[in-house]
Amino acid sequence: MSHKWEPNLSVDCVIFGFDVDQLKVLLVERTLRTADKKKIVFSDLSLTGYHIYEDEDLDSAAARIVKDLTGLGNLVLEQFYTFGALDRLEHPNDKLWHEQFGDVFSNRVVTVGYFSLLPSTNVKIAQKGRVVKWYSVNEVLNMAFDHNQILEKALSHLRYKLQHDAIGLELLPDKFTLSQMQKLYEAVLGTSFDKRNFRKKVAQMNYVVPLKEKQKGVPHKPAQLYMFSRDIFIRTRKERPYFI
């Protein structure tokens, strides 16, 4: 099946994962070689994006991109911002990159940013001939196009959602400990919390439910395991955040 796509509209997905104590983002290597393929002109990293097809809406395009790459569906996937600066494809490397595709791209591409949360960084990445890897969000500089800017905006959106929705729990495995949860919150928000106070706060979240099960095979006191109940969360959340 081949698709006709919109020349000046794309979707870029910022795919987040959480690994031990680091927030990660899934990136694709972009390597431009000379015509004879012998030498590398440059190599850098980019988000996972693609033009949208004429017969799909924005959410579907984002879901397709994530699915193609990770094989996973049914993930958190949320639009956060649209980027349309005139110079967003104007850096020298970006121009060289586009030249290899001839003239098929519009000189103006507006991209809609989505973020997606993966519950594990262990998923099999469907590579399709491109190198796709997890990077710590703190270590990526000089990405392709305006992708550093897009990542920054995705991060601030993620931080917001973490505090106002229960969205962070989508980044944890099905069964998790409160220490894992605390490390996630600390990694995303870039703070550290007092353990007791953190637990008091979590105790108020009735949708974080203790299981009758403990960690196994750890060389120290095993922790209580918890799960996230989407049901309870949806049923009990306040509709509007309060002002007073």
**Which residues form the interface with a second copy (CB under 8 A)?**
6, 8-9, 52, 54-58, 79, 81-86, 108, 110, 112, 159-160, 162-163, 185, 189-191, 193-194, 197-198, 201, 240-244
CA separation for the pair 143, 84 (Å, rounded): 17
| Contact present, 15 and 69 (Cβ < 8 Å) | yes
* Shortest spacing between CB 18 and DNA, in angstroms: 15
Supply the DSSP symbol for 35: T
184-223 mask for DNA (x: CB under 7 A)? ----------xxxx-xxx--x---------x--xxxxxxx
**Residue 159 touches which member of DNA, a second copy, none, C-beta under 5-8 Å by kind:** a second copy
Binding of DNA at residue 179 (CB under 7 A)?
Answer: yes
CA separation for the pair 50, 65 (Å, rounded): 7
At residue 20, φ and ψ (nearest 5 deg) are 60, -80
**Residue 220 touches which member of DNA, a second copy, none, C-beta under 5-8 Å by kind:** DNA
* SS3 assignment, position 240: coil
Q: In 10 A of CB 132, how many CB atoms?
A: 16
**Toward DNA, which CB reaches closer, 30 or 161?**
161
**In this chain, which stretch among 49-57, 131-139, 174-182, 229-237 interacts with DNA, using CB under 7 A?**
174-182
**Residue 35 touches which member of a second copy, DNA, none, C-beta under 5-8 Å by kind:** none
For tokens 């949320």, name the residue.
78
